[in-house]
Each structure stands twice: as structure tokens, then as C-alpha cells.
Structure 1
Amino acid sequence: MKRVLVTGAQGMLGRAVMRRLKYEKIPADAWTRADGDLSEVDTARWAVQILKPNLVIN
């Protein structure tokens, strides 16, 4: 099964997306500002290498 990374997961849209993914039983990781700034290349690279998402929803 594919894995999804949802950025902005504490925002209105991010929360709705996470609820839907959970309902559909799709594996997903929630990323928030507290997790790090994805506009920084090293942080974004780390997130993708560690979490290995097939899809990123921003």
C-alpha cells in the first residue's frame, strides 16, 4: 500500500485530509511546523528519506 505524507497537518485542510486517509485505511504521516521547516532542503530531504512517502499532500 502507498504511504502519504501530509504537510500542514494541523491546519483545516490537513486535518480533513488526515481524517479521510484514516477512514480509507491509507497509511499516512502528519507533518506540522513543530516537526520542522520543510522549506529547508536538509529537513525536506530527511523527511522523504526517513518516511519514504509515495505521495506528498501539501
Structure 2
Amino acid sequence: MEVLSLYPRVPYGVISNRHFKGVLVGEFPENEGCPPGADKNHPERYNNISNFTPF
């Protein structure tokens, strides 16, 4: 593989720790997962972490 160029598509990066998604499934995030009662009215109950980082 030869990398010819690296151009960001957007001016930010996203680091996301969502349950059962991503490269470290079953390892991160280190909590008990999605508890009952998590819904659109209570998004904090999903125990997800997403950081938007400008660069």
C-alpha cells in the first residue's frame, strides 16, 4: 500500500466509546453497559462517551 496523501474530510476528529461497536468491543467502555431506561429522553443513561476534538 502506498499512501499518496492525507487530507482530513472535516476539521474535527471523533473518539467514540459506544457499547458493542468499534475496535475494542467487550473491552471499552469500562462500565456495566446500557441500563434499562435509556432512551431519547434520558440519553445520559446509555453510558456512551463521544469526544469531538478540533484539529
Higher relative contact order (CA 8 A, sep 6+): 1
Q: Same fold (TM over 0.5)?
A: no
Say which one has the larger Rg: 2
Larger helix proportion, structure 1 or 2?
1
TM-score (norm 2): 0.29
